Structure 1
Amino acid sequence: MTLKLQSVTAGYRNRAVFNNLSLPEIPAGALVAVIGPNAVGKSTLLKSIAGLLPISGDMTFAGENLAALTSYQRTRRIGYLPQPLPQAIPLVAYETVFSACRSARGDWSREQTEQAIENVFDTLGIRQLALRRLSEMSGGQRQMVGLAQVLVRQTPLMLLDEPTSALDLHWQLNVLNAVRDATTEAKSVALVACHDLNLALRYCDQVLVLSPGGQAVLGAPEQVLTPELLAHTYGIEARIERCSQGQPIVLADRPLPASVR
């Protein structure tokens, strides 16, 4: 199951965010960080793949035209976590995750559904939230429940828009470990929009860097994240070095004047 974008144009009303965007095939089992500065189009890209925005061009997953999927087919194949946090509604977490699971997995028995929910709550470490109302939770806790709604459906394609934005470091690592494990075990594809370049380097197989002007580069993190690309994309002077355990890290030194970007 591979994801492929060919000559894709997408945007809002009369403003195109991407024009003729083409990417190499993203293979099964890949966890891809979608990175870039604010307002460059990370959310637009994920919404387009999820079928929430009209596009021109070709988007295929496992050989299927994503734009031609029915609503039910899309629910079965795509798990989408939007950037806004789940609403603080009076339903308890277990109910919301159960509903999400049944919407995509109506072929599962109740026992299978309940087991899947138990597994995802344990994997994310949020069992203590199962019977809590979302209206009584913090933003970070609601974000974890929103992620549980995606993971429990076990879709072959996951689109996660800043799933760690409201979380502290412990929960950020917990989330990325869970997503990476789910992607590897099921041979699915996951695109994760994020701002933390070092988390992208540590956890993701590939990075998709979106730059101002609609440019995009996809590849292995250590090959793509160069000082030159960081200067062009973010307007910073930065270095790629290695920590004591041999992991690559990005060290940002200073912002660059607009005249030298």
Structure 2
Amino acid sequence: MTLSVRDLSFSYGDRKILHGISFEAATGEVLGIAGPNGCGKTTLIKCIDRIFEPQGEVEFAGKYLEDMTTTEVAQLIAYVPQALTMGMAMSVFETILLGRRPYIRWSVSDTDIERVSMIIDDLGIQHLAFRSMTQISGGERQKVMIARAMVQDPSLLLLDEPTSALDLRHQLEVMELVQRVSREKQVSVLMAVHDLNLASRFCDRLMVMKEGRVVALGKPSELLNETLIRDVYGVEAMITRQSGFLQVIPVCPVRGILA
């Protein structure tokens, strides 16, 4: 199932945030969205999830999202926001079960319980299942939220900076999980990323944005260079390869350039 975004624009009042965004994401692909703060990454993801109503076309699985009901969208697309709001002290199992809401009619079914148990096993978080969400770490919580998204049985997974505020180990574990979900479940992943080193390692392709526009799109190894980093982020950087992975090393801000 291919995601096709064509000429998508969005404004907050008189302030235009996104300008004519067009791209495609293939089945089983991890497509990263990179760019400086305020470039429109989160807004773009929310437009695709129909949280915002943009101009332009968003087509997925041969259907235009604007013609679909909220339930139909929720059965195709799952969204994991950057800010995880914690309300009641629910268990991990109960939290993941919330992801079945698009399918629950009158009460939770045996199928819903089985799907939650299956996802917990698939993602290797059995040890967390009956712990309280208030008693697990940030990295563990992020894995739980990905599990909650996956129990929707989505074909498209939207992630807003899933490694934000995580330590190095949990960053790697979460990104490995996202990559594994994409490949094994054949789920398309659209992910806002802040860390270019993680993006170059785990994203199949990278879309770079600046001021609400797409300025580059392609494989990270072919895309990321000193000129692009300078023009988009306003930073002098060195691009190296260590252990087969591309690394972006910021050196200093470019004087007189505001990213």
Matches within 5 A, 1:33-48: 33-48=32-47
Letter in 1 for 2:255: P
Matches within 5 A, 1:1-261: 1-23=1-23, 25-101=24-100, 103-106=101-104, 110-212=109-211, 214-243=213-242, 245-259=243-257
Letter in 1 for 2:17: V
Give the aligned CA root-mean-square deviation in angstroms: 2.2
Letter in 2 for 1:171: H
Q: Deviations over 1:52-109 (max 9, x none)?
A: 00111111112211122101101100000111113142221111211212x23459x9
Q: Give the secondary structure class of the aligned counterpart of 1:200.
A: helix
The gaps in structure 1 that reach 5 residues or longer are none
Letter in 1 for 2:20: N
The CA distance in 2 between the partners of 1:257 and 1:206, in whole Å, is 30
The CA distance in 2 between the partners of 1:251 and 1:17, in whole Å, is 29
Distance change (3 Å), C-alpha of 1:233 and 1:225: same
Distance change (3 Å), C-alpha of 1:212 and 1:129: same
2:207 and 2:214 in contact (8 A); partners too: no
Distance change (3 Å), C-alpha of 1:45 and 1:77: same
Letter in 2 for 1:15: R
Distance change (3 Å), C-alpha of 1:260 and 1:92: closer
Displacement of 1:133 after TM fit? 2.2
How many residues get paired?
257
The more displaced of 115-124 and 58-67 is 115-124
Q: Deviations over 1:186-223 (max 9, x none)?
A: 32210111211111111110011111353432211112
1:205 and 1:220 in contact (8 A); partners too: yes
Letter in 2 for 1:249: Q
Q: Name the % identity.
A: 35
Q: Give the secondary structure class of the aligned counterpart of 2:244.
A: coil
Displacement of 1:149 after TM fit? 0.8
1:86 and 1:146 in contact (8 A); partners too: no
The CA distance in 2 between the partners of 1:219 and 1:94, in whole Å, is 38
Distance change (3 Å), C-alpha of 1:259 and 1:51: closer
1:34 and 1:193 in contact (8 A); partners too: yes
Q: Give the secondary structure class of the aligned counterpart of 1:164.
A: coil
1:240 and 1:250 in contact (8 A); partners too: yes
Letter in 1 for 2:59: T
Q: Give the secondary structure class of the aligned counterpart of 2:71.
A: helix
The gaps in structure 2 that reach 5 residues or longer are none
Q: Give the secondary structure class of the aligned counterpart of 2:95.
A: helix
